Amino acid sequence: MMDERNKRRVFLKKALTGTIIAGAVVAGGMTMASRKGWAVFGLGKDKKAEAFPVTLTDAQWQERLSPEAYRVLRKHGTEPSRSSPLDAEYGAGVYQCAGCAFPLFSSTDKFDSRTGWPSFTRPINEGAVGTTTDYKLFYPRTEVHCANCGGHLGHVFDDGPEPTGLRYCMNGVAMAFIPAEKGTTAKETE
């Protein structure tokens, strides 16, 4: 009787493992797939590194950024919700990349998403940010990065308000707020 139970357990473990692998193949592109050597399934293929105008060594980024900004911008981390003072910043101005000071978002496009992260309906201009698809949570999300240095900023979702219907949910530590000069609007400083 015990031998039959062990056979069933082994069978169930193998079946479950096969289901997980098959699910990974169907989902496609999981980051951990490349770590497991699953490239044979077409998963986790390394993309050709995108070239950015600002390129520094890892040591230079660590020297330039705070430990938390480095973790978010260079290692694709996420700051805790409600931890950034920029979430509550609603003055006129421009949000720049904390890594390279490239203009990313205007205060005129900021809104309170109630997520605890600074959120915007659109970037400051068409060339300010780039996007890639990430599978870190085992489903596809659109990751947003600085078009100038490639620093990870956050993600964009399709549950935002009008006029775009988009929510650029950004890590505050990945940005710096530059207030508009007195007598100008945020759009005039762009």
Query: Are both 134 and 67 inside the same structural domain?
Result: yes
Residue 118 structural domain: 58-189
Residue 46 domain-assigned (yes or no): no
Residue 50 domain-assigned (yes or no): no
pTM comes to: 0.71
Higher pLDDT, 167 or 45: 167
Q: What is the pLDDT of residue 87?
A: 96
Is the pLDDT at 159 greater than 80? The verdict is: yes
Query: Are both 8 and 91 inside the same structural domain?
Result: no
Query: Are both 30 and 67 inside the same structural domain?
Result: no
Of the pLDDT bands very low, low, confident and very high (cuts 50, 70, 90), residue 182 is: low
- Identify whether 169 is a catalytic site residue: yes
Q: Which of 101-105, 136-140, 158-162 has the lowest mean pLDDT?
A: 136-140
Single out the catalytic residue among 97, 146, 149, 169: 169
Query: Are both 14 and 86 inside the same structural domain?
Result: no
Selection from 76, 77, 108 nearest residue 95 by Cα: 108
Are the beta carbons of 110 and 116 closer than 8 angstroms? no
Query: Are both 90 and 24 inside the same structural domain?
Result: no
Query: Are both 21 and 79 inside the same structural domain?
Result: no
Selection from 168, 109, 135, 128 nearest residue 29 by Cα: 135
* Domains of the chain: total: 2
Query: Are both 99 and 12 inside the same structural domain?
Result: no
Q: What is the pLDDT of residue 136?
A: 83
